Structure 1
Amino acid sequence: MFTNEQISSYNDLEMSLFNYIMQNMDKVTYMRIRELADATHVSTTTVLRFCKKNDCEGFSEFKVKLKMLLSQQRTSTRTLKSPHQAAYEFFERFQHPNLEEKIKNAAQLISKASGVIFIGTGSSGIMAEYGARYFSSLGTFSMYIDDPHFPVHAKMRKNSVTIALSTSGENPFTLPLLKQIKQEKNKIVSITNNRQSTIAKMSDINISYYVAEEFYESANITTQFPVLFLVEWLAKEVSKIE
């Protein structure tokens, strides 16, 4: 239930429905279909279509499976994945031709810019610092921002490409800066775990990797391995062009 393939197939309404369910799992297991539709401002038809996309015949079966998922999460809260599992999940999708095409298109965009600005906070901020260093090592002038209040003046942004890193694609500190960059008609490339996220949709090119998010108690410990791999791949493609 809620596999990476299923999540990638959701449209905007279904994605908002998914986000509500994930944030209110206990409540949803006791809701009627009309109550869920009203709470998420969608039709009951959308809810039923969402259920079918998650391999459920109807809303009743969906609630049963949701209860099972909730129970599994509670019993495995303190169980960590094998370090190989996330890598396997990512490399299962690695051969998709669309991914290589997006990398090449992003590299072309970056090769025409005067510089690259990496943006990210938390774990993504660490990846932003690494990305800036890696790109600079291969001859592309780069800087990183991991402080949402860091002043980025217009001269720095002029003719630059911003690479936004965010696991959720909904980072409230990153979004305002990206809106400003978008208004200035500068280009944005994003690397996120979900192509339906706000940051992904704001981007000129989004590269999504889809691994299952992992939490340890309240901390999001989703692997950054795919981000590391994609940043290095992108940097090397840019260096080939230049």
Structure 2
Amino acid sequence: MRIDRFITVTAMGSRKEAHQWLKQGRLTVNGQSVKLAKQQVEPGQDSIALDGEVINYAPLSYYLLNKPAGVLSATKDSRTKTVMALLSTADFRADLFPVGRLDKDTTGLLLLTNDGQLAHQLLSPKKQVTKLYQAQIDGLVTAADVARFAEGVITQHGTKFKPAKLQIMGLDLTKKQSVIQVQVLEGQFHEVKRLFQSIEKPVLKLRRLAMGPLTLPEGLPVGQYRPLTTMELTALKNSSKGV
């Protein structure tokens, strides 16, 4: 494979960073400095190094996690348990990371991988990979709210959100609460919570059900994970390419 592709596959850096390192002469193959991004390398056979430190190649891994509340979507934290602690000793690898962030109190679908290029594509606003959430809302969501979300929300602070597909799943008139599903494109920081804050109806509970074609399996217990199937991975890669 090309050396710039090798850098992204091993999650060492982005393709842009690889090109910078090549120009700076920081990458070597079998002890020889290389400058061209199209330089072909054989993972597992060639010795590729950055600043003299050999980059270890390992096959890519993809895990679908049903994230519980109370854990961070991070690789490490000095005070709070992270999603990486949910992996078994056999499956844990230091280069794995969560794709995107779910808040500490948010549950549901979270992808763990060491495929940096796929993660970048899934999170890039240009790729418009949808994320589907289900939420319990403090307040009665109305048809007017559905229409406002469909038009694109502008908050009182001037933040603009792209159109989101909001669906009312149930209303509790006694508690004045709603169960909704909302599909968003951007993945802005605290996007779903901020959307509902803009209509003064706070989110009480939030769960992610899908990312693009990847859906949360009904039979996967909270806190458990499994490898992606070949079909799931193919569909996910196609969606990240806009196919």
TM-score of the two chains, using structure 2 as the length reference: 0.25
Which has a greater percent of helix? 1
TM-score of the two chains, using structure 1 as the length reference: 0.25
Which has a greater percent of strand? 2
